[in-house]
Amino acid sequence: MKQSLRPVLVLFVLLTVITGIVYPLVVTAVAQAVFPHQANGSMIEKSGKPVGSSVIGQQFDAAYYFWGRLSATTPNPYNAVNSGGSNLGPTNPALADEVKGRIAALHAADPSNTTPIPVDLVTSSGSGLDPDITPAAAAWQAARVARARGLSLDQVDGLIAQNTSGRQLGIFGERRVNVLTLNLALDEIKPMH
């Protein structure tokens, strides 16, 4: 028994050191050396202080800000601990109520805008944390934001264009606008606080 227990314990300790200490240290070192921004949370800073991450959405509901996608995380929106979709199917009345509520909020914020609302403004993403909206969703909100900030529509459209990212590697995904960086750019031009 003693002879068979010793190799098992040695192997257990060896694998614990390799997989529990060495491997995480190597992965962390490589990530810090090759992708330091991403490894540290893709933080966005303003005046030297972190204001958010470029990969996790934030709640904006003032008329002078662009609004992002709905967050499916509860009880707090964009809570990374509770990341996940709502799992509400297209025939679920709760999803229909959620969409109707968001449509009402968007129309209340900009009653003069009668154009069709882009779907990403009334639905949540699979993770519930999406930081981006489509350029169409940003354009739909541009007039409201311009009026609320006292800016010209051309200025706001220019900011949308400057904050629009293309497809990854030119072929993957869709063009997108990061809501946090767009709103920070607005604050640089004309702060509202």
- Cβ atoms < 10 Å from Cβ of 182: 25
Beta strands in 78-135 (DSSP E): 132-133
Q: What is the pTM of this model?
A: 0.81
Q: Which of 73, 80, 34, 33 is nearest to 53 (CA)?
A: 80
Per-range mean pLDDT, top range of 74-83, 118-127, 159-168? 159-168
The CA-atom distances, in angstroms, between 56 and each of 44, 68, 127, 134, 180 are: 11, 11, 10, 16, 9
Beta carbons of 123 and 99 less than 8 angstroms apart: yes
Residue 118's pLDDT is what?
94
Let me know the angle formed at the C-alpha of 28 by 47 and 44, rounded to the nearest 5 degrees: 20
pLDDT band at 143 (very low <50, low <70, confident <90, very high): very high
159 compared with 173, residue with greater pLDDT:
159
pLDDT at 135 over 90: yes
pLDDT tens-digit map of 89-109? 888 888 888 889 889 999 999
pLDDT at 147 over 80: yes
pLDDT band at 193 (very low <50, low <70, confident <90, very high): low
Structure tokens belonging to residue 63: 């008329």
What number is the average pLDDT over the span 60-88? 82
pLDDT tens-digit map of 52-64? 888 888 889 899 9
Structure tokens belonging to residue 60: 């904006």
Question: For the chain, which residues make up each domain, given as ranges?
Answer: 1-40, 42-189
pLDDT at 1 over 80: no
pLDDT band at 130 (very low <50, low <70, confident <90, very high): confident
